[in-house]
Structure 1
Amino acid sequence: MRLWRTLRHLRPAQVIHRLWYRARLPYFRTALASTRLGEETAAPVLALPSAPGNEANGRLILTGRVRLVGLEGPATGWTEPGLPLLWRFTLHYFEWLADLRVLGDEGREPARALVAHWLARFERFDPVAWHPYPLSLRLVSWLAHAEFLCQGAEAGFAEAFHRSLHRQARHLERVWERDVGGNHLIKNLKAAIAAAVCLPGHRAGLARALEVLEHEIGRQVLPDGCHYERSPSYHFQVLGDLEDLAALVPEPPAILAGAIGRMRPAAAFFVMAPGLLAQFNDGTADGPAASPEGPVPAALPAAGYWRLEAGAARLLVDCGPCCPDDLPAHAHADTLSFELFDGDHPLVVNCGTYAYQDAQWRNRFRGTAFHSTLSVDEGDSAEVYGGFRLGRRPERFRVECAGGRFSGEFDGWSRLGLTHGRTLSLGEGGLEGTDEVTASRPGSSHTLTVRFHLHPSVTARREGDEIALVTAGGARWRFAAPGLTLSLAESRYSPRFHEMQPTLCIRLDLPFSGEKAVLPWRFYRP
């Protein structure tokens, strides 16, 4: 039944594309499939702009090691069994070529050697190396660094490198991720368009790719400018890809400029402080180094996010769908959770995303208890499972927001006959909140738990019936919840992949078996 609750939301075309891709995997491994990719060796006619590199990681690569998504491994660890799939995918992206390029001539020959090592190992199809997602990012990376790699290279290397570019572009044409969609399909289209513009003989694919791109922009960019996966991190990724495409395509479609214009204010919405994004629905806390310019929207209502500000305090709250129904990969059970900052310093946060391939932690970080909201019987308000799957999910939401006051309600606990509502009022004195749980079937016994996860930089100590808090910026706050059982408990915080920090959470517990439970609380400045 759990699987059915997932599959019933998928579009039939997604299932067809997934089955078609899997059915062709044996064929992709054959010599015939490899031969049909061609033997062209024409050099790119245009080099893509290169992203800035990290010199420290470049110097690490010179030693034969590389650091990716928070983990260090061998620079040729394409199939390293002890490293997660995300790490191996990232190695296959070759985005780390920028880290060698920043070293200049010192990094050129080691970069060529690693590319040559990949060519020798993976010129024939491999399900990881030639998976359409790493393939797309690698194509863009190789086109960006083609001149750096081939300058002064032996003719044999340059021919093999250019041949592989053409072959990978040909393979990408037949494996766009229409089954996944979302940011994956945007990456596929970006690579396909880059190949069509930069590689001789691929121009015919440009019109088709642009047509699909226009369709996907219409699906994926919501009217309020938020990317429909509702992840701040992936919103920035997709925005960056669209901006790159606008600069690359000779005559970009009008819908592309319109989408970028809507997405930029939405991106600013998620920036809580310079360098820090709100953490909802996967990704990392890493954001732009500078504060956004121009007005920041007060809400992204189509996505289901609201933002309150009062003096130095700013709060961002989620009361929208967990994800697009047909793309649950990055969904968290986090409805009515919020993050609270004092100036540039976080106070209350969600716990983040530790890893994608980690049976112990993946769904704990996706679960309700790892977000600053209420849980019932330590369960989840949405049925997260399997790493990237989502079964039962909230479907009805009610929101009112005006004058510094937010009120929201959703049906994520309807299977228990319960409804959760939260009211938040942010003012100069602090944040006042109330959680209400109403029962349609009074008499059942439950335990309500509200958690407020504190950023690791916050110091907290119990003082009588309250909690005294100090942010990294020295701002003093207090937390009070009169009449409720209050405690400080251990928690975890992950600002980026494979980085976990111990922290604390404020916890409220209340037995409940009646018609309505009301849990009032407040964060205030003493």
Structure 2
Amino acid sequence: MTAAGVARPSRLDRATWYYRRLRAMDGAEVAHRLGEAVKRRVSRLERAGWAAFDRGDGPLPALTPLDGALAAMPPGLLAALRDAARSATSEGMSLLGQTWRGARGTARFHLDPPTGGYWPREAYCFDIDYRTERRLGDVKYVWELNRLQYLQPAAAVAAHDGNEALAGFCLSEIETWIEANPPFLGVNWASGIELALRVVSILVVLGFIGPERVPQALRRKIRSCLAAHAYWLARYPSRHSSANNHLVAEAGALFLLGTLWPELGIFGEAEAARALLTQQVEHQFHADGVGAEQSPTYAAFTLEWYLLCLAVGERSGRPFAESVGERLAAAGTFLRAITDEGGHLPRIGDDDEGRVLATAPWPDANYASSVLGALAAFRNKPELAPPVVRPALRDLYFGPAAPGVGREGALHFSQGGYSVFRRTIAGRRTLMAMDHGPLGHLSIAAHGHADALAVWLHIDDQPVLVDAGTYLYHSGREWRDRLRGTALHNTLTLDERDQSRVAGPFNWGQRAKCNLIAWKGDGEETYVRAGHDGYLASHGLMHERHLVAHGRGFTLHDILRAASSEAETEPCPFVEISFLIHPDLDVRTDGANAIVLRGEEPLLRIVGGELGLEMFKGSTNPARGWYSDHFGSIRPAPQLVFHPSDASARRFAIEIEVLPRRAPRQGAAGRETEAPA
């Protein structure tokens, strides 16, 4: 054990990671990775520092807001930006739930807040094994600070208020970062997406403060810094199984730099980035608009990158092809379909709170709906606007959106694999979604969860049936596996096994494949029926789920079908049908029935009929009843687990009944009180 109480990574850890990663690669990717390994060895010898990227003095690129947007900021947005600016300049700024205390100057850009340790500063970036590092916390913490996004709101306030001291702080932070991170040493050069987001932050700061106000000596440093970023991004692109949001971010940064700064001389790279973004939009978003990574927040993140590039392309006089905008509009259609009238989306799959433009350094629970609003404003599609519009920094680049109006009905997204049911039941607005799509994107499905046939439910804009969330990435280890696993999702589990096999923190081995069986989207009763083969190899069984939406709520029918006569005679597995409840809600159980309450107000009744029922909350053996509000945070949550009393049963029905609001009644003194449930 180390002084920090965490074991060092073993050779076995590293070997296991590489073995599993290689198994996900085809021949073309193996060849690409071998070539990349050779380039990394060559680059290790390039120790020329910033001097190798010196471009002399000259103009700086900048991302400028829309004309007049800064002066026309609504008071609420200005107040939020000022709060964020105060946080950025205060002692102990917090990001991702961690606080940076004690470190000053260049040292803090390598600080690991959970342990108080420091990431190596002088080591070649690709020699730092951050994936299996056990002495320090999750690498995302140090990367979050080094994205420099906390400077974006500060620079906006400096420009609006004419605050020279605050503008000086922003420029000083950039200069300190440059001094702390010579190319290509330290963990802050190890991941292209981190470079890409840092490029945007620097361009945003320059756009608010004005490149002409940067002192000559610093101007030369920033030019060198951006040139080094462009070089490293072009040299080590994410390809093949890594061609997800990372690829979009890297290509986006190269496009922005090449377009906004022609003097940099990367016109070829910028044009290649434009072509790549144009081609990739059909891979990042299915034709029906569902994000290929099976995570609404990652879809919003990718969408925000595209919007920024499209805006710069238009303003430079070379817009992207209309087909790109059309696919983004399709993405907006799906995000709007799963947005409740309070502006909340079900948290499906991974969510690490990534964003491109940051209003504040703390978590933004409405990030996806904010990006949806930016899309609606930029593409002039008011039908895509979310029902609740909260002012955000991105409004200064894409324009503000007016609140939209939601529509009830059943919607079906066949390529991405979701069915969505929006209706008023018992006087309450309800939104239920069911997943019958792929696990995730590309051969590693990095950000997907083992949630085939899972359901999510919101009632009156309150998330009720929820995904367990993310918690941690690289340092999460067994918790990373648990929160991605089937048992913490609202679906059926056999013998406590995952439908899809975990093969690493961002990798999957055997995957469950879903198929749509039937769909009905109109009439009093609407429904979807789908199945998956995740338990075919292990149990010889297919899981089918039939979800019916009706006037009282929803009915779930789960069926286990034997794939062969041999499977028919096999001993029946241990069946669990789970429902994870949002931790802000309470649950009362009575036999096989459960009531879900918000305070004293009953929202939902779940009836298991002949099934047995257990409730867990914060259990570690088995791991049940956990929920991650945001990255780095986890807390107990009620989880209902139904199981058959008849071990031979293979058909199960569960009623999910939405309960009406309590009717007021007159109290003894004539005052209105609530009738008892």
Q: TM-score, normalised by structure 1?
A: 0.92
Displacement of 1:443? 2.2
Q: Is contact 1:4–1:391 with CA below 8 Å preserved after alignment? A: no
Contact 1:137 1:187 in 2 (8 A): yes
Match of 1:430 in 2: 553
Change (3 A) 1:173 1:49: farther
Deviation at 1:202, TM superposition (A): 3.1
1:3 to 1:154, Cα distance in 2 relative to 1, 3 A: closer
Aligned match for 2:100, one of 65, 73, 89: 73
Q: Name the structure 2 match of 1:456.
A: 583
After TM superposition, give the deviation of residue 524 of structure 1 in Å: 1.2
Q: Which residue of the other structure, out of 459, 483, 487, is the alignment partner of 1:365?
A: 483
**What is the distance in 2 between the residues matched to 1:470 and 1:335?**
27
Shift of the 465–328 alpha-carbon distance from structure 1 to 2, 3 Å rule, reads closer
Q: Distance in 2 between matches of 1:162 and 1:2?
A: 37
Which 10-residue stretch deviates more, 188-197 or 295-304?
Answer: 295-304
Q: Does 1:510 align with 2:526?
A: no
Asked if 1:27 is matched to 2:32, the reply is no
Match of 1:261 in 2: 329
- Does the 8 A contact of 1:355 with 1:498 survive in 2? yes
Largest Rg, 1 or 2:
2
Provide Cα deviations, 1:197-220, integer angstroms capped at 9, x if missing partner.
111233343322111222212322
Partner of 2:671: none
* Structure 2 counterpart SS, 1:335: coil
Residue 235 of structure 1 aligns with which residue? 299
Gaps of 5+ in 1: none
Give the equivalent residue in structure 1 for 2:532: 410
8 Å CA contact 2:59–2:211 kept in 1: the answer is: no
How do 1:248-287 residues align onto structure 2 when only pairs under 5 Å count?
248-249=312-313, 250-251=317-318, 252-283=320-351, 286=366, 287=368
Cα distance in 2, alignment partners of residues 513 and 466 from structure 1: 20
Match of 1:172 in 2: 233
2:412 alignment counterpart: 299
Deviations 1:425-461 (A, max 9, x none): 1222111112112334122342101110111222211
Contact 1:222–1:303 under 8 Å retained in 2: yes
Give deviations 1:262-297, integer Å, cap 9, x for gaps.
221122123234342212220166432642736778
Q: Which amino acid in the other structure matches residue 121 of structure 1?
A: A
Q: CA deviation at 1:4?
A: 7.6
Indicate how the Cα distance of structure 1 residues 64 and 157 shifts in structure 2: closer, same or farther if over 3 A, else same.
farther
Farther off after superposition, 185-194 or 480-489 = 480-489
The equivalent residue for 1:217 is 281
Conserved? CA contact 2:55–2:220, under 8 Å: no
| Deviation at residue 175 of structure 1 after TM alignment | 1.7
Distance 2:211 2:21 in 1: 47
Matching of residue 90 in structure 1 with residue 144 in structure 2: yes
| Distance across 1 between alignment mates of 2:229 and 2:23 | 34
Tell me, what secondary structure is at the counterpart of 1:278? coil
8 Å Cα contact 2:244/2:441 also seen in 1: no
Residues 513 and 3 of structure 1, relative CA distance in 2, 3 Å threshold: farther
The TM-score with structure 2 as length reference comes to 0.72
Of residues 627, 644, 648, the one that matches 1:493 is 627
Tell me how far apart the structure 2 counterparts of residues 18 and 240 of structure 1 sit (CA, whole Å).
29
Amino acid at match of 2:175: A
CA shift for structure 1 position 356:
1.0
SS of equivalent to 1:298: strand
**What is the root-mean-square deviation in Å for CA atoms of aligned residues?**
2.7
Q: Which residue of structure 2 lines up, in the alignment, with residue 288 of structure 1?
A: 369
**1:100 corresponds to 2:149:** no
**1:347 matched residue in structure 2:** 464
1:198 corresponds to: 260
The Cα shift of 1:65 comes to: 2.9
Offset, 1:143: 1.1
Aligned to 1:245, the other structure's residue is in SS state: helix
Residue type of the alignment partner of 1:111: C
2:178 counterpart of 1:119: yes
**1:60 corresponds to which of 61, 71, 87:** 87
Q: Deviations over 1:279-327 (max 9, x none)?
A: 2220166432642736778122101111012212210110111012424
Compared CA separation, residues 473 and 229, structure 1 to 2 (3 A): farther
Aligned-partner residue type, residue 230 of structure 2: A
The one-letter amino acid of 2:516's match is R
Question: Is 1:466 aligned to 2:520, yes or no?
Answer: no
Is the strand fraction higher in 1 or 2?
1
Number of matched pairs: 525
Whether the 8 Å contact between 2:256 and 2:312 is mirrored in structure 1 is yes
8 Å contact 2:96–2:631 — kept in the other structure? yes
Tell me what 1:157 maps to. 218
- Inter-CA distance 495–16: structure 2 relative to 1 (3 Å threshold): farther
Paired amino acid for 2:288 = D
More deviation, 7-16/279-288 = 7-16
Q: Contact 1:337–1:372 at 8 Å: present in 2 too?
A: yes
Residue 152 of structure 1 and its aligned partner are, at CA, apart by 4.4
Q: What 5-or-longer segments of structure 2 have no aligned partner?
A: 1-15, 71-76, 116-136, 354-364, 371-385, 388-402, 618-624, 660-677
Bigger Cα displacement from structure 2, 237-246 vs 104-113: 104-113
Secondary structure of the residue aligned to 2:108 is: coil
After superposition, what is the alpha-carbon deviation per residue over 1:164-209, rounded to whole angstroms, capped at 9, x for unaligned? 1122222222222114111111101110010011112333433221
What is the CA distance between 1:16 and its match in structure 2?
3.1
| More deviation, 381-390/81-90 | 81-90
Counterpart Cα distance in 1 of 2:324 and 2:591: 57
Among 166, 189, 193, the residue aligned to 1:133: 193
Conserved in 2, the CA contact under 8 Å of 1:3 and 1:391? no
Structure 2 contact 338–431 (Cα < 8 Å) conserved: no
Equivalent residue number for residue 523 of structure 1 = 656
In structure 1, how many angstroms separate the alpha carbons of the residues matched to 2:432 and 2:465? Answer: 9
**In structure 2, what is the Cα distance between the partners aligned to 1:181 and 1:263?**
18
Distance 1:170 1:506, change over 3 A: same
Q: Using the alignment, how far apart are the partners of 1:458 and 1:174 within structure 2? A: 49
Q: Given that residues 81 and 157 in structure 2 are in contact (C-alpha distance below 8 angstroms), is that contact kept between their aligned partners in structure 1?
A: no
CA distance 1:512–1:12, change in 2 (3 Å): farther
Distance 1:152 1:210 in 2: 30
For 2:433, give the aligned amino acid. Answer: L
Paired position in structure 1 for 2:59: 43
Which secondary structure state, in structure 2, belongs to the residue aligned with residue 509 of structure 1? strand
CA separation of 1:7 and 1:393: change in aligned 2, threshold 3 A = farther
| Partner Cα separation in structure 1 for residue 61 and residue 219 of structure 2 | 14
